[in-house]
Amino acid sequence: MRLGAVVASVALSVAGCGGAAATPADASVLPAEDAASEAATGCQPQFGRSYVVDHFEVMAPGEGLDLTGDGVPDNALGALGAVLNPSLDQAIAAGFKVYLWDVTGWSEPPTPDDPDIGLAFYNAQDADVPVDPTNNYGGEGRFVASAEQFDLACSPTSEFQHATLEGGVLRAATDRWDVYNPDVGTLEYRDVQGEFVFNADYSGFAFVGGAVATICAASRTPFPGPTTGAVLDALVNTLGLAPDIDRDGDGLERLVGDGMSVVQCIDGNGTIIDGHGCVCDPRIADGYSVAMRGTGVRATIVGVVQP
């Protein structure tokens, strides 16, 4: 496969996007007030003040949040944005990709400061049947969230652990973030941070975010191209990208490939671990940083959709 195609495919997996998702015409839609599903038995999600993303991009190399506290933006995967971003905006505009942020616990009408704020993220679908993307981004968009994104306790699997709202700026962080993607399954991120700056009437926001895709998580994400293997195999063997986030404090891990897959890991302390299974050895904890930004506008989640 040509390098450009590999870059595009890796970017789609890492950023959590891909081809067109199924629409409610192909699924069973459950209204929000009676939202039970196999993924969340007896679950009736209570949504808050929701926003749909109308622009999203992977930030350029050298831009992003400082995840490590050294004063330097962290974004090892920034080079993927040049290939990913144009197709991503097209998919959003066409309604093939719908990303929702749901702010819970916010007073109504909203205020610039609220100590009870919460934040969750959803991959979603247009509630219009047939799909009509022309009304998605004017504040009147109506969407359904995928049922796979709720656990048995009816909690969103991509809910942030910490969130604060002060001066109209929402800051959120979570140690682990599991994002369901209908194209490649659940993507796991670590050390996630986000900042959302709302406009004066709270009808929209601009956001920036940063996260780490761990070595192990990247090895479990199927490569979406025509070849076998995982995203990590392409990062190491085709793109030559090394992990840049030392999550366990012993120095950066190194990965050795054979042209197809990872066959050896070298721990930050120099310990050599042979075999492809090394990528999920507990001693191999590091990962690749990625930075994202975008904008969002008001929307409504009207229910939950079953696959």
Domains in the chain: boundaries: 3-217+288-306, 222-285
Give the pLDDT score at 3. Answer: 52
Pairwise CA distance, residues 54 & 207, whole Å = 11
| pLDDT tens-digit series, residues 152-162 | 888 898 899 99
CA gap 13, 2 in Å, rounded: 17
Distances (CA, A) of 219 to 121, 230, 276: 23, 5, 9
Give pLDDT, residue 218: 92
Q: Which has the closest alpha carbon to 143: 305, 307, 302, 306?
A: 302
Residues of the chain with pLDDT under 70: 1-43, 183-184, 224-228, 307
pLDDT at 1: 47
pLDDT tens digits along 61-100? 999 999 999 999 999 999 888 888 988 889 999 998 999 9
Q: Residue 194 is encoded by which pair of tokens? A: 């986000």
Q: What's the pLDDT at 227?
A: 60
What's the pLDDT score for residue 232?
A: 93
